[in-house]
Chain A
Amino acid sequence: MTNVNGTGTAFSRRHILGAGLALSVASGRAVRAQAPVSLNFAVWGNRAEEDAFRRLIAGYTAQNPHVSIRLELSGSSGQLYQQVDTRLAGRQAPDLVRIQYQQVGRYAKAGAIVDLSGHLDGGLAAQFAPALWKAVTYRDKAFAIPHHTDTLAVYCNMEMFRRAGIELPRRLEDSWRWEEFIRIARTLKDKAGAPFGFACAWQNTAAYRFLPFLYQNGGQLLDEQLLQPRLSSKEGLEAIAWAQSWFTDKLVPPTTSIKTNEQTQNLFANGTIGMLVHGDWQIPFLQEAMKQAEWQVTYMPRSVSMASDLGGNCLAVTRDSKNRDVAIDFLRYATNEANMRDFCIAAGFLPVRRSLMDTKLEYPLRPDAMQVFVEQSRTIPDHLAATVTLPDFSRINTKLGEQLDLAFTSGQSPKDTAENIEGTIRSVLKG
């Protein structure tokens, strides 16, 4: 086991003791000065993620018998935030939380999660991917530790592709251009018996998954300094108009706009759509539910540049934690190299430690598909990462979702859409 955290001898001693057979006796002595500690750890996730978290906890508590960690499972990220926010108001928040990178700024700004900078080894930052480490910092201080990332790519129904006689690109450099992507979607619809060409998984609170398309077209939501909106640019309006045309040209199912509870993976699994823009975490579901056709994954389409979404989550300690030191120690443990690798492999995520990003992980499920996501994750623009991790991004995101939905379902013009979003951005950035 590599001790990447540099937390000194106590940590490695626990490792050795934990490996011993006379576990209870030996470690009981090692920690005799420590009173029992119990922590709450709030997460959401599918089965694979839940299992991976439970293994992580079991591993930690085996080494630290005086610690017990209770896993609190929410139905979705949105519900987790609702619960955690309410409990923060009552000073009863769980000790540890899994949050998306997009939420770090919001919690850090309000002082709801703990500044970790004094507790972490100075060299830790350099061990993580720079964009993601930057995502967990607020005013140059780290408020969370990156745990994993994920990104979007395109799932393809190969039965349909064969019927239409279309090949998938082999290399990232060969990824489809926007016009090509649209032509293929139309061909799938016309020639391969797909009721609809494709769909994008940006439903509910995931409106920010529109941004990759914006960046592909050379657009940005905000200017370089992140101080002013830039959506009304020519590139921005084009990107909105392009996504709008998916709906007006009936290339995507009308149910796959943003403010809906449609689950696009079901549409892909049952052959309603030929392609699905979704994340790597759908692999286990499709592996089980999509029996009638083979599927593969290819890269996101591109216009003037390539881009995909900053997905994934980090782990943080809340201000209500009464055992900060133990909670932070658990964060270090959860994000050390070995555990990060195990978690990513088990739950189908991409690692965020440099050492792991350079090695090929042995994903048990569809390693071929995972490889596409790994490559695609290198196209996440830094500026996009900086934008979505602004403290008030959740308010911008809500507006983004609502206005794009109006453009997609009610025919609101790209210009009005962009201007309405910009209005909110201005007032959010000012406040």
Chain B
Amino acid sequence: MSGVTFEAGARRPGSRRTGNVLIWIAVVLGALAMIFPLYWMLATAIRPRSEVFQPVVSLIPQMLTLENFRNVAQRHPFLTWVMNSTFIAVIAVVITVSANLLCGYVFAKFRFPGRDILFFAILGALMIPIQVILVPEFLVTSWLGLLNSPWGVILPRAAEAFGVFMVRQFMVSIPDELIEAARLDGASEMRIFLRIVLPLSKPIIAVLVIFTFMWRWNDFAWPLVVLTDQELFTLPLGLNLLRGEANPDWGGVMALALISLLPMLLIFLIFQRYLVQGIASTGLK
């Protein structure tokens, strides 16, 4: 993948270099502004409480302390929350990505009565705001006996319309000839999917893994009604508990917010190389 070269016009090299430097400076300044809120989270989390509410705040903490982290760890089962969030996100990724791959493959490579209607119905699900169906969805979850269990968070969110759409877009571009050739060789449908389609789909799988993990890791409105036991809380719920009007411990809130961010950052840093590639290969041109 070569860089885009539309700047390679016939210009004087000097002005081009100045232009590049200016653009670079602008991008770096923008990046500093983007990273500042995260820095500020860190700065709030590691400064003592007395420094937090100053009317004019110093940009660099005058004193460093881990008391906020200690407080959170002492008062709340935050390691349990990390485990819960991880469990939910990982299981959800496995279920959602598998279901999406199957579903997207079918919509991309099969023709059958009702296909378009079903596909648009699924896309229609993308547009339902959660607040609209919160209560009916809760009723279903309750009838299925899934309340106050991680499965009550995982299953209702396992079908993800965005994922089906992305997979379909990607798989449409897998040549039919490949599949046809395999079938002529006597390969079973199962084998074709596992041995031919899936290996070609690595970029889109990476995209789905990142996004599904991110969504489940950050979910708030839905787990809030399903999970009532503090021992089953996910990190956003714990964060919300700390933020509540009765618990205005900002240093602790920032400390937990920071902790809740770290696994996401890790996942992102590992997979980011595939992210652009994956999105690029969904036929977006």
Q: In the bound complex, how far is the Cα of B50 from the Cα of A76, in angstroms?
A: 25
Pick out which of these stretches binds chain A: B18-26, B131-139, B162-170: B131-139
A47 lies within 8 A of B228 (CB) = no
Q: In the bound complex, how far is the Cα of B81 from the Cα of A73, in angstroms?
A: 14
Contact mask A33-66 → B, CB, 8 Å, 1/0? Answer: 0000000101011110100000000000000000
A287 CB-CB contact with B under 8 Å: no
Which of B49, B225, B229 contacts A288, CB < 8 Å? B49
A122 CB-CB contact with B under 8 Å: no
A285 lies within 8 A of B248 (CB) = yes
Which among B53, B55, B134 has the greatest number of chain A C-beta atoms within 10 A? B53
- How far, in Å, is B102 (CB) from chain A's closest CB? 31
Pick out which of these stretches binds chain A: B27-35, B103-111, B239-247, B268-276: B239-247
A92 lies within 8 A of B147 (CB) = yes
Q: In the bound complex, how far is the Cα of B142 from the Cα of A87, in angstroms?
A: 9
Pick out which of these stretches binds chain B: A268-276, A354-362, A423-431: A268-276
Given A266-B53, A269-B53, A291-B50, A76 and B228 touching (CB < 8 A)? no
B245 lies within 8 A of A83 (CB) = no
B11 CB-CB contact with A under 8 Å: no
Contact mask A273-294 → B, CB, 8 Å, 1/0? Answer: 0000000010001001101100
- How far, in Å, is A425 (CB) from chain B's closest CB? 26
A90 CB-CB contact with B under 8 Å: yes
Nearest chain A residue, comparing its CB with the CB of B134: A86
Q: In the bound complex, how far is the Cα of B224 from the Cα of A94, in angstroms?
A: 15
Q: In the bound complex, how far is the Cα of B148 from the Cα of A94, in angstroms?
A: 12
Q: In the bound complex, how far is the Cα of B228 from the Cα of A71, in angstroms?
A: 9
B244 lies within 8 A of A76 (CB) = yes
Q: In the bound complex, how far is the Cα of B229 from the Cα of A42, in angstroms?
A: 10
A89 CB-CB contact with B under 8 Å: yes
List residues of chain A with CB within 8 A of the CB of B75: 47
B54 CB-CB contact with A under 8 Å: yes
B53 lies within 8 A of A79 (CB) = no
B149 CB-CB contact with A under 8 Å: no
Which of A83, A91, A289, A292 contacts B228, CB < 8 Å? A83
- How far, in Å, is A270 (CB) from chain B's closest CB? 4
A179 CB-CB contact with B under 8 Å: no
A70 CB-CB contact with B under 8 Å: yes
B53 lies within 8 A of A270 (CB) = yes
B135 lies within 8 A of A89 (CB) = yes
Given A70-B229, A270-B55, A90 and B246 touching (CB < 8 A)? no
Nearest chain B residue, comparing its CB with the CB of A78: B245
B245 lies within 8 A of A263 (CB) = yes
B49 lies within 8 A of A72 (CB) = no
Q: In the bound complex, how far is the Cα of B243 from the Cα of A76, in angstroms?
A: 9
- How far, in Å, is B148 (CB) from chain A's closest CB? 8
List residues of chain B with CB within 8 A of the CB of A47: 75, 247
A9 CB-CB contact with B under 8 Å: no
B230 CB-CB contact with A under 8 Å: yes
A83 lies within 8 A of B55 (CB) = no
- Interface size for A (C-beta < 8 A) is 40
List residues of chain B with CB within 8 A of the CB of A117: none
A44 lies within 8 A of B50 (CB) = no
- Grouping DSSP codes into helix (H, G, I), strand (E, B) and loop, the B interface class, with mixed when no group exceeds half, is helix
A195 lies within 8 A of B55 (CB) = yes
Which of A75, A90, A91, A204 contacts B241, CB < 8 Å? A75
- Grouping DSSP codes into helix (H, G, I), strand (E, B) and loop, the A interface class, with mixed when no group exceeds half, is mixed
Which among A75, A94, A272 has the greatest number of chain B C-beta atoms within 10 A? A75
A46 lies within 8 A of B53 (CB) = no
Nearest chain A residue, comparing its CB with the CB of B71: A47
List residues of chain B with CB within 8 A of the CB of A292: 50
Q: In the bound complex, how far is the Cα of B148 from the Cα of A87, in angstroms?
A: 11
Which of B55, B134, B245 contacts A76, CB < 8 Å? B245
A75 lies within 8 A of B229 (CB) = no
A149 CB-CB contact with B under 8 Å: no
A412 CB-CB contact with B under 8 Å: no
List residues of chain A with CB within 8 A of the CB of B53: 266, 269-270, 289
A92 lies within 8 A of B229 (CB) = no
Nearest chain A residue, comparing its CB with the CB of B233: A73
List residues of chain B with CB within 8 A of the CB of A270: 53-55
Which of A77, A90, A271 contacts B138, CB < 8 Å? A90
B243 lies within 8 A of A75 (CB) = yes
A217 CB-CB contact with B under 8 Å: no
A83 lies within 8 A of B244 (CB) = no
Q: In the bound complex, how far is the Cα of B75 from the Cα of A73, in angstroms?
A: 13
B245 lies within 8 A of A204 (CB) = yes
A76 lies within 8 A of B147 (CB) = no
List residues of chain A with CB within 8 A of the CB of B250: 266
- How far, in Å, is B31 (CB) from chain A's closest CB? 29
A49 lies within 8 A of B139 (CB) = no
- How far, in Å, is A110 (CB) from chain B's closest CB? 15
Contact mask B117-160 → A, CB, 8 Å, 1/0? Answer: 00000000000000000110011011100010000000000000
Contact mask A113-132 → B, CB, 8 Å, 1/0? Answer: 00000000000000000000
Nearest chain A residue, comparing its CB with the CB of B237: A75
Given A76-B246, A285-B248, A82 and B139 touching (CB < 8 A)? no
Q: In the bound complex, how far is the Cα of B147 from the Cα of A86, in angstroms?
A: 12
Q: In the bound complex, how far is the Cα of B51 from the Cα of A269, in angstroms?
A: 11
Listed A/B pairs (13) with beta-carbon separation below 8 Å: A73-B241, A75-B247, A83-B224, A86-B138, A87-B138, A87-B228, A90-B139, A90-B141, A90-B147, A204-B245, A270-B55, A281-B246, A289-B49
Residues of chain A at the chain B interface (Cβ within 8 Å): 40, 42, 44-47, 49, 70-77, 79, 82-83, 86-87, 89-92, 94, 195, 204, 263, 265-266, 269-272, 281, 285, 288-289, 291-292
Additional 4 contacts, C-beta under 8 A, given A44-B244, A75-B243, A266-B250: A47-B75, A86-B225, A90-B141, A270-B55
CB-based closest 8 A-B pairs: A75-B244, A90-B142, A270-B53, A46-B246, A76-B244, A76-B245, A72-B228, A75-B241
